[in-house]
Structure 1
Amino acid sequence: MGKYYCLIAGLPNIALDDSKLTYSISEFRQELDGILTKADKKLIDLFFLKFDNKNLIDHLKQPDRDSDQRGCITYEEFDALYKALKEEEKIPKNDRIPPYFKAFFRAYLDAQGKENNSEIPWEDRLAALYYAYAMKNPNRFVRDWFELNLNINNMLTAITCRKHGFDKASYIVGENEVAQALRTSNARDFGLGDTVDYLPDLGRIAEETDLMVREKKVDLLKWKWLEEHTFFKPFDIESVFAYLLKLEMIERWVTLDKATGEKTFREIVGAMKKGSDNALEEFKRNNKK
């Protein structure tokens, strides 16, 4: 892994409540071309696979649909893999297609013509395969980031299922320890109170009835996690990766209807900022060497 002193020193400061984009994530990716090592570039490519996932699901529903240009894999490449698996032919060699696409297509083909007893949508099944793939990455920060996202999604799902009397085991995805506990435990904290320190925060977030407000609170939790986990890696690929993730959050909120979201968002940021700053300062004090 490389050190990126000049790159990171030259990046503008950003905050989750920014009302303008410093870069789009696509522009930031272009800036990174020619700067990152080959190994570090693969981590950025891993992030952008989420848009190939979206394109794959979109093409299954509507083959002639336009692709999200942030993805790299074309419809023709998806189709060639799908047809090869369907016809049990030799799979064309393509280094751009990750192995979990094959697993997804095989599951999709196996389900054709059968009664679907799963409550989990295909896009969530593909996401679970993506998380599992990313959680095997050699970079610990990247592994932990994807596991954090998997856990947050699953915990919010489990809390919602319990609240409305749904069978949570039918909706939880993934096979890590948290997913297994969420499926099987009937305890109030799902038996995770001693291992998942952000579970109380998620419990409070889950009580929020406004879905947009809840999403913003989740992003604030993730933003804080990124700051804490890159504090001692200011010029490493982890900080570059975190900057990309932060840009994505800002890009999503800036493109929303400001009339419906901006006022509420700023109120939440203001209310939570003091607590977040105090928590981060405590983290820094506790981890000084």
Structure 2
Amino acid sequence: MHTQYYYFVTGLPVITIEDSKLPFSPDEFLQDAQEHITTSDFQLLRWLRLPEKVMELLNVIYNKNDMLHPVDEESIKFYNEYKEHLKERAGEPTLPVRKEFKIFPDFLHKILTELYMEEELPPYQKIKHKLLEATYEFCCKSTDDFLNQWFNFNRDMQNIIIAINGRAHNIDYVPYLIGEGDLVEKLAKVHTMDFGLGKDNELFENISRIYEQNNILYREKHYDILRWKWIDDFNFFNYFNIERILGFDAQLRMLNRWIKLEPVKGKEVFESTIDTLIKSFSFPEQFKVKSISKK
């Protein structure tokens, strides 16, 4: 039975992806949530943010400046401290993980410690794939309905985007597909235009339509619109439980990213198509399952 957070959820503002201002920052929301929800539910919030944190950390390790996923100075400082700790553990593997870094799961400490045991850093894409695969495997095992279905949905999105992009640029994308299953097998082995998925796979159809636009920012924004719509649909019957809070957090972070990226330039282009796209998106049956709020 889910704990019901009537007071906390009632106080959350309504946000849309078209908003130009944040009601509060994602960090402020996390701090506030910690005071109002159970320890176990707060841990779910941390796991929800894990792929984002992993990518930020990886970009700091490899000194990459990712325009689409900017990292604030405070986080960079924390990641650099963690990086130095990993180097210490690489030289002394029995060294325990410091308390402040235990917010990360064990698999991350293990993979990154082994990374620094090598003579030189392996190629970025190789480690990125290894970390993402481990992260999705970890998160998709969650017993929480929202986390489980959210990460499965995002993993499928990621795989379809990788396959479409790889084929468009004549790149061997198969080694970078994440996980296993029927979708991954078709993306890897079927060479028809639709990878054998057919028009019944609405997720593939939606992503294909977005990819047709030859503008990276446009694509990224509309992938997030697709994610936003999924959250709204999933939480249609969720009102005051942790699922509602998880969905709000995911949407708040998407909004935060786009406000940082597009204060003025390109905003008009995005706003002119948002309403049409939101209304036109539909979802595969496996992603239409609603998580009904437990009383």
Q: Same fold (TM over 0.5)?
A: yes
Q: Does 1:165 align with 2:166?
A: no
Paired position in structure 1 for 2:93 = 89
Q: Which residue pairs with 1:268 in the alignment?
A: 273
Aligned partners of 2:206 and 2:281 also within 8 Å? no
One-letter amino acid of the structure 2 residue matched with residue 150 of structure 1: R
Amino acid at match of 1:3: Q
Question: Unaligned regions of 5+ residues in structure 1, if any?
Answer: none
Residue 235 of structure 1, aligned match among 233, 240, 246: 240
| CA distance in 2 between partners of 1:220 and 1:259 (Å) | 19
Alignment correspondent of 2:134: 129
1:43 and 1:72 mapped to 2: Cα distance?
24
Deviates more, 1:261-270 or 1:193-202: 193-202
Q: Deviations over 1:114-151 (max 9, x none)?
A: 9x6x7835334323322221111111210111122222
SS of match in other structure, 1:14: coil
Amino acid across the alignment from 2:96: P
Does the 8 A contact of 1:136 with 1:143 survive in 2? yes
Q: Could you tell me how far 1:262 is from its partner in structure 2?
A: 0.9
* Structure-2-length-normalised TM-score: 0.80
Asked whether the equivalents of residues 135 and 144 of structure 1 are also in contact (C-alpha less than 8 Å), the reply is yes
The CA RMSD measured in Å over matched residues stands at 3.2
| Aligned with residue 226 of structure 1, among 203, 216, 231 | 231
CA spacing shift, 1:57–1:208, aligned 2, 3 Å: same
Q: Deviations over 1:265-285 (max 9, x none)?
A: 1111133244359x9xxx79x
Q: 1:141 to 1:159 in 2, by over 3 A?
A: same
Distance in 1, Cα, partners of 2:94 & 2:11: 48
Given the alignment of the two structures, is residue 17 of structure 1 paired with residue 18 of structure 2, yes or no? yes
- Take 1:48 and 1:21, find their aligned partners in 2: how far apart are those partners? 18
Aligned residues: 275
Q: Which residue of 1 aligns with 2:115?
A: 108
Contact kept in structure 2, 1:48 and 1:71, CA below 8 Å: no
Higher mean alpha-carbon deviation, 265-274 vs 10-19, is at: 265-274
Q: 1:74 to 1:270 in 2, by over 3 A?
A: closer
Q: Percent identity?
A: 25
The aligned residue for residue 220 of structure 2 is 215
CA distance in 1, matches of 2:235, 2:264: 34
1:183 and 2:188 matched: yes
Residue type of the alignment partner of 1:205: I
Distance change (3 Å), C-alpha of 1:119 and 1:11: closer
Determine if contact 1:80/1:92 at 8 Å carries over to the other structure: no
Match status 1:203 vs 2:204: no
Q: What SS does the aligned partner of 1:158 have?
A: helix
TM-score under structure 1 length normalisation:
0.81
Q: Could you tell me which amino acid in structure 1 is paired with residue 22 of structure 2?
A: L
| Larger relative contact order, structure 1 or 2 (CA cutoff 8 Å, min sep 6) | 2
Instruction: Choose 181-190 or 134-143, whichever is displaced more.
Output: 181-190
Whole-Å separation in 2 of the counterparts to 1:177 and 1:73: 39
Q: What is the rounded CA distance, in whole Å, between the counterparts of 2:228 and 2:221 in structure 1?
A: 10
1:247 aligns with 2:252: yes
Distance in 1 separating the partners of 2:277 and 2:59: 37
Give the aligned partner of residue 62 of structure 2. 61
Aligned 8 A contact 2:140 2:148 in 1: yes
Shift of 1:209: 0.4
**Which secondary structure does the structure 2 equivalent of 1:33 belong to?**
helix
2:47 and 2:8 map into 1 onto residues whose CA distance is 20
